[in-house]
Chains A and B, each alone.
Chain A
């Protein structure tokens, strides 16, 4: 325990740097995945026939072990952060597409038909009704993707991308490196937990069910 505190206090800046780098890799992967997944989710929600095909494709990716997937991506994209971000991207597709799909499908059809009958265009229906009502479910997908993404990035050190995983690996290589391992593992876990909590809070805030006159 003492060695852990000494290590952290001596390498505080280094840990913070890796922490930040780690977070960014996960966040970018999820961000790019969102940019693709949300429109895809909307599309398959509207044109039902595509949905099973797309969702199956997403689940196939999920079944591949992360390390294997990363190795293959590395062959194509070389060492470094791009490979890690790409991996996070692919693993984030399914949860976000799936939640967007479910969120939009889950909007009460009486609400959409009332909105449509009031004279909304297709686009207005999407932006003023379907997305606002589905947004908390979509956020839940992004939250899952981010937590998983943080885990994936920890492995990213094997393709030379750095991050908190690098600290853990360094610890395993050192003799009596438990303290170093902890200095990498604890922030990783912390990041995942905090990300989960913060996203959960945003998600609840966006949920229309929780809106009240006083809020």
Chain B
């Protein structure tokens, strides 16, 4: 669909290229999000696609044709573009704004009108709004119209430069949801620029992380969060996001308790009861001399067998239910909740016990996800 080959752009009067030897290939229907610090060349990269900026070197192919070989005006009409600051025409009605490209393509008035009606219904705005002027709309509504304008001529490729940047968080959130839904309905290839990692994770099929004119990492949100390529990416994602509140990418070891209460298998049941009492628990993990997980034992099992057996290894349950420390929490959580167990032991290589995940830890994590910052603030205040 869209391909960058060794694309370089050096602006006149600057020595360092704004975009340097960029290689990237984007599939049809993909939602690609460019993200990176200010001035890293995101906008420049995007503008080279519809020739608002001409590359100094390299090639950009749209559906196999080099953009430089196409008429720039026709090219721009065939690619949707949402600029950072919306940029609605203040002297045109909302309807005229939506069908701007249609009017350039010499569509009939009826066709323009029809298309505008069709589109405005997609974003749940009343049809009467078509007759209004942009200044009679709220910022969020204007932003929607900006997006619709890019969709109007039904272009297969849409470029969006921080389209939700200027909005308050609540409006932005709503628009993102709406837009993701819309994208699925209209099935477009979308190149999207943002500063906001949350936005990128939420929307992207593929995230392209840039720094100083170069691509640092390309991958799905999951891949990038799981395997950040280097420190820059890690910093950019933010430690918080890596560790906390992301059950979909958090690993078991990140939330486990590394000091589970254990008992060696050759201990007596009496000793086991003592350990339980000391630690105020009703169940213990059983390990051998070198720390290998053997099973578990709880107060009821001891109670039932106290008369017949005297050692832990005789009375314990050897059911081998455990998770590996690098397993995804997402899967673990699901299994745990289904089994209805109060905890799950965490092991590493050779079945060595390294920790435990309790229901309480999960509850804490869910709580953090929901209340995130606030608890952090409370903790800081304490």
Q: Which residues of A contact B (CB under 8 A)?
A: 108, 110-111, 113-121, 124, 129, 132-133, 208-209, 211-213
What 1/0 mask marks residues of chain B from 102 to 133 whose CB sits below 8 Å from any chain A CB? Answer: 00100000000000000000000000100111
CB of A133 within 8 A of CB of B90, answer yes
| B74 beta carbon closer than 8 Å to chain A | yes
Known: A118-B100, A118-B104, A213-B136. A208 touches B90 (CB 8 A): yes
Complex: how many Å from CA A129 to CA B86?
15
Residue pairs across A and B with Cβ atoms less than 8 A apart, 20 shown, are A108-B87, A108-B90, A111-B87, A114-B86, A114-B88, A114-B89, A115-B89, A115-B100, A116-B52, A116-B76, A118-B100, A118-B101, A119-B74, A119-B75, A119-B101, A120-B73, A129-B91, A132-B91, A209-B135, A213-B136
**Among residues 47 to 84 in chain B, which have CB atoms less than 8 Å away from a CB atom of chain A?**
50, 52, 73-78, 81, 83-84
Judged by DSSP, the binding face of A is helix
Task: Collect the chain A residues with CB atoms within 8 Å of residue B131's CB.
Answer: 213
Look across to chain A and name the residue whose beta carbon is closest to the beta carbon of B129: A213
Complex: how many Å from CA A132 to CA B76?
22
Known: A115-B100, A117-B50, A118-B76. A110 touches B85 (CB 8 A): yes
| Most B CB within 10 A of own CB, among A117, A120, A124, A212 | A117
Complex: how many Å from CA A182 to CA B83?
60
| B149 beta carbon closer than 8 Å to chain A | yes
Complex: how many Å from CA A133 to CA B133?
14
In whole Å, how far is B88's beta carbon from the nearest beta carbon of chain A? 7
With A113-B52, A114-B81 known, 15 other A-B pairs at CB within 8 A are A110-B83, A110-B84, A110-B85, A111-B87, A111-B90, A114-B86, A117-B76, A118-B81, A118-B104, A119-B74, A119-B77, A129-B91, A132-B91, A211-B133, A213-B136
Task: Collect the chain A residues with CB atoms within 8 Å of residue B78's CB.
Answer: 119
Complex: how many Å from CA A133 to CA B135?
14
Complex: how many Å from CA A120 to CA B87?
14
CB of B104 within 8 A of CB of A124, answer yes
CB of A117 within 8 A of CB of B81, answer yes
Look across to chain B and name the residue whose beta carbon is closest to the beta carbon of A136: B91
| Most B CB within 10 A of own CB, among A118, A129, A211 | A118
Task: Collect the chain A residues with CB atoms within 8 Å of residue B89's CB.
Answer: 111, 114-115, 129
Task: Collect the chain A residues with CB atoms within 8 Å of residue B52's CB.
Answer: 113, 116-117
In whole Å, how far is A96's beta carbon from the nearest beta carbon of chain B? 21
| Most A CB within 10 A of own CB, among B50, B75, B133, B149 | B133
Top 5 A-B pairs, shortest CB-CB distance: A114-B87, A119-B77, A119-B76, A208-B91, A110-B85
Task: Collect the chain A residues with CB atoms within 8 Å of residue B93's CB.
Answer: 213
In whole Å, how far is A5's beta carbon from the nearest beta carbon of chain B? 49
In whole Å, how far is A207's beta carbon from the nearest beta carbon of chain B? 9
CB of A120 within 8 A of CB of B91, answer no
**Among residues 23 to 52 in chain B, which have CB atoms less than 8 Å away from a CB atom of chain A?**
50, 52
Look across to chain B and name the residue whose beta carbon is closest to the beta carbon of A120: B104
Task: Collect the chain A residues with CB atoms within 8 Å of residue B83's CB.
Answer: 110, 113-114, 117
CB of A212 within 8 A of CB of B90, answer no
Task: Collect the chain B residues with CB atoms within 8 Å of residue A116's CB.
Answer: 52, 76
Task: Collect the chain A residues with CB atoms within 8 Å of residue B101's CB.
Answer: 118-119
